[in-house]
Structure 1
Amino acid sequence: MPQAAPRHGDQPRCDDVVELRVHGVSGARPSVILGAERVRQVAGDARGGFHRRDGPDSTDPDGVTLEAYRWGDLPSGTVGRTLAMVLLLPFMLSNAAVWMRPTGSGAAGVTVLCRLLALNLTVVYVVSIAGVALDLLAWRCLGAAACRAPFDTLAGLDDRPVGQRLAMSALLPIVAVGVLRLLGTRRPRPAGNPLWAVEPLVVRLRAIHVAAALAVLDLLLLTARRGGGATPGTTVLLTLSAAVLVACVGLLVAPGLIDRAATARIATVTARATGVLAAGLTVATLVAVARDERGWQSSAGLPGYDGITGGALLGQMVLLVVLSGVVLWHRGRSALPRGLGAALIAAIAVGLTGAFSAGLVYQAGVLLGGYRGDGGPPLPYRWTLLAFFLHVAVAVLLCGAMTLLSRRRRRGAAEAIVARDFPAPPPEATGRLRRVTKAVARARFTEWVGLLAATYASLAVVGLATSLLGQFGREPDELARHYLRLPAGAVGMGLAGGTYLLAAVLLALVLGGLFAYRRAWFRRYVGILWDLGTFWPRAAHPFAPPSYADRAVPELADRIGQLTERHAGVLLCGHSHGSALLALAVLRLPPSVRRRVALLTYGSPLDRLYARLFPAYLDEKVLREVGERVGWRWLNLWRDTDPVGGWIFAAHRPGEPPSETTDPAGRVDRRLRDPAGLLPSAGERRPPPVRGHHPGESDPAFRAAVRDLVGRLRSPDGG
């Protein structure tokens, strides 16, 4: 890591303490974090670096040297990288789901199910690309149907035999798999000293996913070829391709095979051999299909394509239902059940994958005109689009219903909190008191997210039902008319609504990715999706974006070690997600460094969200270990108006009986009254603002906490 030479104001004193600030997902500029117009970079690079005030003295009035670590460009430093994350969003979510697994007996099963689900997402991706290349282009537009020009004579393939058309068109999904593999080989810089040593696992997962993708493509081609009559060659190739797919599933299902160090070499060799075999079978399949001059089965669509597509989508929903059932069975009893995030995030990933795939095939058919006169896209995709529309509609209704049903309880709790904070408000503060109460009530909606997530995860049965109906060949219009008594055209409106909704989602994701990169104010609201999704390494899906924590956390730990060599101590100040980065950095510090470190967190989601979303990795035991490693020189500031952050060990609200305990964890949390007052103070025109989740490093309470921890660092016994 590049290191700047010391300048005036950098010379350490015997009692000098550095206040190292780490921002949250908003990605604020260093000048904002440090509260200075001019800053200079003292370490790091353009994407992630350490900054100080640029001037004759970089200390604050308390004599503390200020430094900021800006990591906001690590997960989305360029437009291309941001767009890649948007396009790979389902893979990123499926990878995050495996880190949300619950603890206890269900953890291993959830891991296997998440990895199988991730593999299925790759399969569905390839099947949808093959639907455009093989079913639409090669079979319909260049053969069975008259598509719009110039797609009816594309590259002169209309005069070629069917087998050659299919073999040439199969290059498109092969290229798509190659693009995914290239994206999956990107690694964050620097590669040395990573936080999680999972790169060997990613290599194995990548080989498995590529092998499965090629095997499914072979099955599509060979199944279509067998429709005109089987031969010994096609039977052997079909059997071997199915065996490759089974081997890929077996590698993921075998307990600990690809994770354990004892079996790592065997798993790596087996995965790579499976990938090589799959590539060889694909070449052989393309040659066999292209050179087979026998007649092909006459049909509107590619023979066997609907069945394989329906099977892939059905398998997706079965895995999701089983995963949701396992997670709900093993969930803990809390306001936001621990481990439930795995089912919720997996459900969103599955919904997006199915919708993207169906939308791709549907819109390509509209563009090419390949579905005219035969009822539209393949039946499984019609059910998928309809299920997507129903899922989103029900989710919106659930959010609205949950908001209304919880309003009374949230309002009551907020009124009790505000009444304790402002027991005798003046009459002119009535309106202000009402707005503060609403802010607290809105922030408490986070406590209801668990129930909302459980309800949404249970909606997976809707997708399973539609997939089963598609497998039995039931038409959506037929069921709507005969069983639901819906008017003609109702299903068509649902399909159209699904496609428009999907187009809106895609547009929002692309614009969100671009604006999150270009506008800091927009990133504050959507950046949490990217920053949290790319925080965790690739332990389920190898084509997800790489983890920036593999760079950020070791870089922080190294910088803290360097600062303790030149200063009396280092006060680590982490806001929001920055508190998680610092907590993990503390766990990497050697004992000689930890003795000169203190920790200040504010707006921290460590317990309120992360300990519940990631119970196997950031639970109370880990948080207590963080406190022990810094000698309990740790303060956590939180507000009732904050919808994200909260207390870590104890609430300590005013009016509640004090906690009589010798446990040092009970002295970590400090609640901040928000706002500081209802009316403007003397000389001010406006009342104190409602801070909510905003940092507020200049607040008197924040500076008081800084002085407290700095005093502990400067004391001879270390506080």
Structure 2
Amino acid sequence: MTEQGRQHGDQPRRPDVVELRVHGVSGGDPTVILDRPQVRQVAGDDSGGFHRDARSDDAEPGGVTLEAYRWGDLPSGTVGRTLAMVFLLPFMLGNVAVWMRPTGRHRAAGVDVLCRLLALNLTVLYVVSVAGVALDLIAWRCLGAARCRPPFDTMAGLDGRHVGERLAVLALLPIAAVVLLRLLGTRWSGPTDHPLWAMEPLVRRLRAIHVAAALAVLDLVLLTARRVGGATFGTTLLLALNAAVLLVCVGLLAAPGVIDRPATMRTASWTARTAAGLCAATLAVVAADPRGWAPATGLPGYGGIAGGALLGQMALLVLLSAVVLGHHGRVGGRSALPAGLGAAVLATIAVGLAGGLSADLVYQSGELLGGYRGDGGPPLPYRWTLLAFFLHFVAAALLCAVMTVVSRRRRLRAAAAITARDFPDVAPEAVGRLRLTTKTVARARFTEWWGLLAVTYAALGVIGLTTSLVGGTGRDPEELARRFLGLPAGVIEMGLNGSSYLIAALAFTLLAGGVFAFRTNWFRRHVGILWDLGTFWPRAAHPFAPPSYADRAVPELADRISQLAERHVGVLLCGHSHGSALLALAVLRLPPQVGRRVALLTYGSPLDRLYARLFPAYFNEEMLREVGERVGWRWLNLWRDTDPVGGWVFAAHRPGDPPADPADPASHVDRRLRDPTDLLPAPGEGSAPALRGHHPGETDPDFRAAVNDLIARLRAAG
């Protein structure tokens, strides 16, 4: 029990019930949640807090005190932090992928290892791309082999310096990029006093490993280029030591369960310190070496290292897809798709986005500086990556279009059966309204097709692997297109330019979305969902991903519920959409004596329809039944066929479904709501009832009936 709970433990319990409402990702205004013109904050802070009616703290006439928990600013907070989330989007997606692991113990361990190795590769690719701009483009080309546009051809007087000095000085740019990631990860450290989400010790270990690997790869870029002009004992020794550091980093992540042990912190810290020392030594050796460097258009060896990083992530992605697709379990007993499928899909998106952004950074920087004029363009691996991104984007767009068309007839047929059972007798003037309802249900049912769509999308990773393999042969894409496809010269170059501008437009859209999602409520409701869902999970794979707001929201909710249960007869928890997930996790943290005074109402809830399929190791039937048992099965779940997000948790209860087992308490949780309630306006009304879809509807009669039902159960239990 919390200290505040103890302070109220000896006070007489008030006879009213507190109705605590928690919003979803689409809203967070307490005045809207409570349907009150003015509210006041009674706990929490500006980022997340509990609010009540400003006029009175007393119960409503029905003996119910309304309270709302607002958590909408926890995932973002400030414009700077929101923009940083956009910048770290590939890291965030790679981190969420590890939480989508399948349920099997050994297969889940394999997914953990592969996701963490992919996360490490994302960091390596980030550093390699920055090194491509600083070392290959500026230090080697603009200030040496080629003359860039002014003033980039005489940057800070470095054009007259020795090659080694230029490389050592400009190597500070990728080092600064690593330091920036390190500072962001440290600044966003989460709490460590909540066992359910206490991931910070693991984050510190992962952070040390990622920093060590990033510095080691940067050293390898410098030392490989130096050895092309002639190896020395010092460069050979440093090269071997940095390779050993990189192997240690990979080994700590590749050995199942090793990184999860607290004792690994000493090894990870020692590895990071060693990498920092080797980096300083490498810069000194490169800057002080007076020998000449091998003449080359680009930095010697850089293309091979960049290609190796890109090929490595493709190989890891294929292995991850094979592990997931090889799992033949079913999700919730209704889907024949492999459990844990989301890990491969989200990793594919993260890898594609990271590769595309890295390649475009190098490509656009070269265009801006003019450093690739007359020498065939940027390093060959990045040209192939841009081509792969373009092919992947076109294939994904065609796939979505085909799946939409192919599934439309089946979805409409299923939707027509639903609306025909809901409205068997339709007046002629209501035919148009019925047709609109059927189309809405059909659109909502597209959610059931996401699984097949995701499997096919993950298979598109073969495109990236193929282009990486072909690019590894050293063949130019234009040459192969001309020889084997008969395409005229310049077609591939047009495709590369189009892909580059497409990625630049995507990056600009993400940045603009980060700003508008913070400043505009309407935009946040539609785009901010990505940030809210992506930052829900703690950092278990990538230490530089944005932090989890659940680290605070879940314990804060549990503490507040315990406090309210000490002072009132009962607490009714009302969670809409993603708010139902926060409440389900908070219920699992409640002491037994508190759970006996709690009831749960979920509506528009994705707990089974989405989360149990995307995160089968966590939001599964066993976990959901435990939630029901914790609250004594005082749980109702409201759902509509027109809702594309929420659904039933245990049983659909659609017309025509077989009757559920009345002895199973889970069979009494779900209540299907007909939407709309009628096709024609009620007497005296000017318009027909609206289609509610995913709308919360706290003032709807069905919602109030469910509230009254659960309040009666609470009072009976009390």
Identity of aligned residues (%): 74
1:274: which partner in 2?
271
2: CA distance between counterparts of 1:297 and 1:58? Answer: 81
Q: Map residues 46-57 of structure 1 onto 2, 5 A cutoff.
A: 46-56=46-56
Partners of 1:27 and 1:71 within 8 A in 2: no
Instruction: Map 1:390-401 to 2 at 5 A.
Output: 390-401=391-402
Shift of 1:12: 8.3
Moved more, 443-452 or 321-330: 321-330
Q: What is the distance in 2 between the residues matched to 1:224 and 1:384? A: 23
| CA–CA separation in structure 2 for the residues paired with 1:40 and 1:469 | 63
Q: Secondary structure at the match of 2:77?
A: coil
Alignment match, 2:605: 604
Q: Does structure 1 residue 488 correspond to structure 2 residue 494? A: no
1:75 matched residue in structure 2: 75
Number of the residue aligned with 1:302: 299
Distance 1:328 1:483 in 2: 33
Matched position secondary structure for 1:19: strand
Distance 2:317 2:653 in 1: 40
Contact 1:642–1:692 (8 Å) recurs in 2: yes
Counterpart-to-counterpart distance in 2, 1:252 and 1:657: 48
Per the TM alignment, residue 55 of structure 1 is displaced from its structure 2 partner at its CA by: 1.3
Contact 1:336 1:447 in 2 (8 A): no
Equivalent position SS for 2:426: coil
- Give the aligned CA root-mean-square deviation in angstroms: 1.6
| Distance apart, 1:13 and its partner CA | 6.9
**Does the aligned pair in 1 maintain the 2:192–2:198 contact within 8 Å?**
no
Cα distance, 1:615 vs structure 2: 0.6
Determine the structure 1 residue equivalent to 2:33.
33
- Within a 5 Å distance, the mapping from 1:177-192 to structure 2 comes to 177-187=178-188, 192=193
Match of 2:430 in 1: 429
| AA partner of residue 636 (structure 1) | N
The CA deviation at 1:335 is 5.8
Other structure's SS at 1:66 match: strand
Q: Secondary structure at the match of 2:300?
A: coil
Residue 613 of structure 1: how far off its partner (Å): 0.5
> What secondary structure does 1:469 align onto?
helix
- Correspondence list, 1:282-681, <5 A: 282-333=279-330, 334=335, 337-681=338-682
Deviation sequence 1:201-220 (CA, Å, 0-9, x none): 11110000000000000000
2:192 touches 2:200 (CA, 8 Å); kept in 1?
Answer: no
1:519-556 Cα distance to aligned partner (Å, 9 max, x none): 12211111221011111111000000111101000000
Q: Is the 8 A contact 1:335 1:447 kept in 2?
A: no
Structure 2 length-normalised TM: 0.97
Q: Secondary structure at the match of 1:637?
A: strand
The amino acid across from 1:275 in the alignment is A
SS in 2 for 1:106: helix
Q: Residues 406-446 of structure 1, C-alpha deviation per residue, up to 9 Å, x if partnerless?
A: 00110000000000110101110011100000000000000
1:579-632 CA-partner distances (Å, limit 9, x unpaired)? 000000000000110000000000000000001111111111000000000000
| Contact 2:122/2:351 (8 A) holds in 1 | yes
User: Is the CA contact 1:58–1:66 (under 8 Å) kept in the aligned structure 2?
Assistant: no
SS in 2 for 1:62: coil
Structure 1 residues 618, 656: CA separation in 2 closer, same or farther (over 3 Å shift)?
closer
Q: Provide the C-alpha distance between the structure 2 equivalents of 1:12 and 1:436, rounded to a whole number of angstroms.
A: 51
- Partner Cα distance (2:231, 2:97) in 1: 42
Matched residue SS, 2:548: coil
Asked if 1:205 is matched to 2:230, the reply is no
The one-letter code matched in structure 2 to 1:87 is F
Give 1:239-250 correspondences, 5 Å limit.
239-250=240-251
Q: Deviations over 1:13-65 (max 9, x none)?
A: 74300000000001320000000111110000000000001114654453311
Q: Distance in 1 between matches of 2:523 and 2:3?
A: 31
State the number of aligned residues. Answer: 708
CA separation in 2, counterparts of 1:139 and 1:148? 14
Counterpart CA distance in 1 for 2:532 and 2:336 is 25
For 1:293 and 1:667, the matched residues in 2 are separated by: 80
In structure 1, the gaps of 5 or more residues are none
* Alignment CA distance shift 1:343-1:672 (3 Å): same
Q: Partner amino acid for 2:183? A: L
Contact 1:3–1:43 under 8 Å retained in 2: no
The SS at the match of 2:15 is coil
1:632 alignment partner AA? W
Counterpart-to-counterpart distance in 2, 1:621 and 1:390: 42
SS class of match (1:330): coil
Partners of 1:623 and 1:81 in 2: how far apart? 34
Paired position in structure 1 for 2:135 = 134
Does the aligned pair in 2 maintain the 1:331–1:340 contact within 8 Å? no
Q: 1:226 to 1:479 in 2, by over 3 A?
A: same
With over 3 angstroms needed to count, the CA separation of the structure-2 counterparts of 1:60 and 1:697, relative to structure 1, is farther
Which of 496-505 and 72-81 deviates more? 496-505
Q: Distance in 1 between matches of 2:692 and 2:82?
A: 30
Cα pair 1:639 1:672 within 8 Å, conserved:
yes
Check if 1:144 corresponds to 2:141.
Answer: no
How far apart, in 2, do the equivalents of 1:46 and 1:2 lie?
Answer: 22
Tell me the distance in 2 between the aligned counterparts of 1:128 and 1:321: 23
Question: Which amino acid in structure 1 is aligned with residue 89 of structure 2?
Answer: L
Distance in 2 (alpha carbons) for counterparts of 1:338 and 1:49:
36
Question: Structure 2 vs 1, CA of residues 167 and 529 (structure 1 numbering), >3 Å: closer, same or farther?
Answer: same
> Mind listing any 5+ residue stretches in structure 2 that lack a counterpart?
none
**How many Å separate the matches in 2 of 1:356 and 1:128?**
9
**Equivalent residues of 2:190, 2:200 under 8 A apart:** no
Distance 1:487 1:431 in 2: 53
Structure-1-length-normalised TM-score = 0.97
Q: What SS does the corresponding residue of 1:687 show, helix, strand or coil?
A: coil
The structural deviation recorded for 1:338 is 2.5
Aligned-partner Cα distance in 2 for 1:466–1:441: 38
SS of the aligned residue for 2:454 comes to: helix
